[in-house]
Structure 1
């Protein structure tokens, strides 16, 4: 057994999760895109060390920094509810490489209907996988519900994108460049609630601050999902709003007109720069462990909490998902 100096609560956040800055550092840590390059064997070793640390038993000579690194890998690759290794394409650590390629392509190929249809379909397929991977695992969803959510969100994105394209045909070029963002924002408002519809229908598990289960709340699910939607739209906004302005300005220069073949790679690279900061920043907007006053719960659940704990429990806590 390791000596006492390195025995500590490995689940305790390294940074204060009550502040935006603390959450930002936390998500910079777990959305590190370098972690997607690691083999499953390294991730499984990290999970084993985290499990040992939780039991207070770690291999002799293990340092606290090694335990922190193992927790970083664990948080980046394993679901917080189920403990299962997540699909690599759906991890938040894959948001920068995956998002930069797809978003850059949407911003570049926005002029023709086939290009709009194809890239919006690719984006919604990617979003559906991310939303499913980061759902609250305590609320299972069927294959049929996944299919309906995927089709509905893709349809919403396509209708929005094609509709706005028609509407902005005579508008300035810059306005047309903003159409992909409108489609992405609209699709997020459909995709996320649909993919997590079981949570809205049946509620998600709420607990005391100490982790004691109290029941399931639909209102908690709605609050958590609403925050996730705001985070996802915020994540995409800077790159999809500011970058078109930059490209509109750059494309007026003669040297940019000579290298049109490089416009897509340039946009993809610039989107990557935006996402490198915006992925952790958007995830950090709201605490991962969300809270809600007992007074805001459904009457039935509120009564259960008050009968069991009286006035000693004023708020409930739940995982809002990502």
Structure 2
């Protein structure tokens, strides 16, 4: 078992402890570290060094190294890069657009980055040393295309149907994007990582020894990650819209309607930033699957009633 997974096995057992760990791992200053420094930190973690003096190395290894391959993650798809890179795109995607083209553009950026982040941080234990197949590339491209078009549907409806009614426009701009954003995030992750459900992922016993490949564990890993991503984008779409709708009724915003736009931008970025550690902490990074849910050939290996698997991000 990779040193990163061994760390998660002994830490972050509760939701609050995982949030605390992720708040530390999401420090953007680690993005300035070189690949050589990251590899050295990962090697140090593999030697079992987890003292306070090695806390920076621990943070560097956990936030920048893939837990299956041990390879350094691409810079833009490391967890600490999620907020600075994705926040402007999320804000742009949730803007009340005027044209369909602008809505499609921002949705394409958002869904492309979401797909890239999911693929880079997937469970790759069953495909070591294998390059991305043409089928997988087409699947990802199809998922990005579909979710981009679906994400722009509210603006398409408003323009094509020439909707001018304020209540109907409010529905398409403020209410519909909430379930739509959550559903598209779930679909994006599920599609990009569908191979894990088809081929399975490596599972480990309580001692950290690999015991086989499980499709059931792969399906569970994908579902958990998709749910966490749906929560991230669903809440990010819901809270700012609710806040703006409430503040629009107050005197300061009725007198100065120009304040609504910056409030919306700031609140979207703020809520998205809060939801990143919450979303990443909803499920353990090293998940467990019970014996009765495993394939028959793997049930005997679950001596203590469960096996472990890497969930991915």
1:17 is aligned to 12
Count of aligned residue pairs for this structure pair:
297
Does 1:213 find its partner at 2:210? yes
> Residues 174-189 of structure 1: matches in 2 within 5 Å?
174-175=170-171, 176-189=173-186
Choose which of 108, 117, 133 in structure 2 pairs with 1:142.
133
Does 1:119 find its partner at 2:106? yes
Tell me: CA distance 1:14–1:26, structure 2 relative to 1, closer, same or farther (3 Å).
farther
RMSD between aligned residues: 2.9
SS in 2 for 1:108: coil
Tell me: CA distance 1:94–1:143, structure 2 relative to 1, closer, same or farther (3 Å).
farther
Contact kept? 2:151, 2:180, Cα under 8 Å:
yes
Unaligned runs of 5+ in 1: 1-8
Does 1:110 find its partner at 2:97? yes
1:320 is aligned to 311
Contact kept? 2:8, 2:285, Cα under 8 Å:
no
1:192 is aligned to 189
For normalisation by structure 1, the TM-score amounts to 0.81
> Residues 85-100 of structure 1: matches in 2 within 5 Å?
85-100=72-87
2:266 is aligned to 269
1:218-258 per-position Cα deviation (integer Å, ceiling 9, x unaligned): 11111111110110011122221110222344456256434
Contact kept? 1:160, 1:182, Cα under 8 Å:
no
2:291 is aligned to 294
In the alignment, the residues of structure 2 paired with residue 128 and residue 162 of structure 1 have an alpha-carbon distance, to the nearest angstrom, of 19
In the alignment, the residues of structure 2 paired with residue 97 and residue 250 of structure 1 have an alpha-carbon distance, to the nearest angstrom, of 27
For normalisation by structure 2, the TM-score amounts to 0.83
In the alignment, the residues of structure 1 paired with residue 231 and residue 5 of structure 2 have an alpha-carbon distance, to the nearest angstrom, of 30
Contact kept? 1:10, 1:68, Cα under 8 Å:
no
SS in 2 for 1:209: coil
Tell me: CA distance 1:11–1:156, structure 2 relative to 1, closer, same or farther (3 Å).
closer
Does 1:161 find its partner at 2:152? yes
1:188-218 per-position Cα deviation (integer Å, ceiling 9, x unaligned): 2322122112211111011102111111111
2:276 is aligned to 279
SS in 1 for 2:282: coil
In the alignment, the residues of structure 1 paired with residue 264 and residue 285 of structure 2 have an alpha-carbon distance, to the nearest angstrom, of 31
Tell me: CA distance 1:189–1:93, structure 2 relative to 1, closer, same or farther (3 Å).
same
Choose which of 39, 47, 54 in structure 1 pairs with 2:39.
47
2:257 is aligned to 257
1:15-70 per-position Cα deviation (integer Å, ceiling 9, x unaligned): 8422111111111111223323x142xx53243144135336x8xxxx93331111
Contact kept? 1:206, 1:318, Cα under 8 Å:
yes
In the alignment, the residues of structure 1 paired with residue 255 and residue 85 of structure 2 have an alpha-carbon distance, to the nearest angstrom, of 29
Unaligned runs of 5+ in 2: none
In the alignment, the residues of structure 1 paired with residue 40 and residue 58 of structure 2 have an alpha-carbon distance, to the nearest angstrom, of 10
In the alignment, the residues of structure 2 paired with residue 35 and residue 251 of structure 1 have an alpha-carbon distance, to the nearest angstrom, of 40
In the alignment, the residues of structure 2 paired with residue 80 and residue 178 of structure 1 have an alpha-carbon distance, to the nearest angstrom, of 38
Contact kept? 2:26, 2:80, Cα under 8 Å:
yes
SS in 1 for 2:152: helix
SS in 1 for 2:126: coil
In the alignment, the residues of structure 2 paired with residue 204 and residue 230 of structure 1 have an alpha-carbon distance, to the nearest angstrom, of 19
SS in 1 for 2:303: coil
In the alignment, the residues of structure 2 paired with residue 238 and residue 119 of structure 1 have an alpha-carbon distance, to the nearest angstrom, of 19
SS in 2 for 1:205: strand
1:151-196 per-position Cα deviation (integer Å, ceiling 9, x unaligned): 2343134135316852894544432224444443232232212211
